[in-house]
Structure 1
Amino acid sequence: MSDSIQIRNIKPSDNAAIAAVIREALTEFGANKPGTVYFDPTTDHLYELFKTPGSIYYVAEQNGIILGGCGIFPTEALPEKTCELVKLYLDKNARGTGLGKKLLLKSMDWAKENGYNQVYLESMPELSKAVSIYEKVGFEKLNYALGNSGHCGCDIWMLKKL
């Protein structure tokens, strides 16, 4: 078996594993609260959600184990040619390896190649390490939310021009 990490499109069989990674990360950081993806029923059905036109979801896999994921979604009511960077979460053993940044950059490259010119995201103070990474790749904080993600538990909003 290879120890290399493969980044690929999500498959139906990945749903349970990536949902577990997301919920474990939110719990670990004390961000498992209402109004977040922790309680969003689509978290258990990401393969189906990301069949939506204008979306993609990547998972990182090593030796058959899902280490994390990240995606792009055409969230309702965003400005024209703006997508949302969504559900960037990593297993605790994969953090600090550069994998999150790889998933983030791959997702943003896909967005640009598919006609988007801005990427929006929502986060929360509990995920300060992620927010720091977003700032390092050029995201800027906003004073208000864009679009209608349905995640009222997020109070950090960021935007990056592609």
Structure 2
Amino acid sequence: MPETADAFSIRPIETRDDAAMASIVRTVMPEFGAKGTGFAINDPEVDWMSRAYAEPRCAYFVVERGGEVQGGGGVAPLEGGDAGVCELRKMYFLPSLRGLGAGAALMARCLAAARRFGFEHCYLETLSGMDAAMRLYERTGFRRIDGSMGATGHGGCNTFYLLDL
């Protein structure tokens, strides 16, 4: 079957993807007002995601379209949280990838990994204004919670969700 213009693929991150993902995070975050301290844009992990997500109970996936990385997202244990809780982390897409179903496909892949790792809950933090992302979270079954969990260091986020796995 021939590949369509909207076709994308999802695979585990590799070292060769680190620069592309760092660029994507640093391009997308300001688009939604995430500038300054307290956001992933300043997180040193952004420059070496393949190494950060090689740790136990971690997974990060990239989304390729047209032979180039255009987005990604992953899961990892929630820093400072209960061992049964993971965090959906650093899920960002270039505008060229949005609206194609990549978010739902990547979310399914991340949540499947979280279940494989034995997590019972998945937590995430986001910003008001990231409306399409919040619709995806809610369609997936995440419920909004009143405050933050763990010690993520992302003090700039103001909207929090939890999903029972």
TM range, smaller chain: over 0.9
Please tell me the root mean square deviation across aligned C-alpha atoms, in Å.
1.5
CA contact (8 A) 2:77 2:83 kept: no
Gapped regions of structure 2 (runs ≥ 5)? none
CA contact (8 A) 1:2 1:63 kept: no
Q: CA deviation at 1:29?
A: 2.0
- Structure 2 match to 1:97: 100
CA contact (8 A) 2:124 2:160 kept: yes
Q: Distance in 2 between matches of 1:52 and 1:148?
A: 18
- Structure 2 match to 1:49: 52
- Structure 2 match to 1:60: 63
Q: CA deviation at 1:65?
A: 0.6
Change beyond 3 A, Cα 1:5–1:15: same
- Structure 1 match to 2:158: 155
Deviations 1:98-156 (A, max 9, x none): 10111011100111122111100011113122111101111111111111111111111
TM-score of the aligned structures, taking structure 2 as reference length: 0.92
**Equivalent residues in 2 for 1:117-128, closer than 5 Å:** 117-128=120-131
Deviations 1:63-84 (A, max 9, x none): 3310100100112222231100
- Structure 2 match to 1:74: 77
Q: Which of 19, 31, 34 pairs up with 1:31?
A: 34
Of all paired residues, the percent bearing the same amino acid is 33
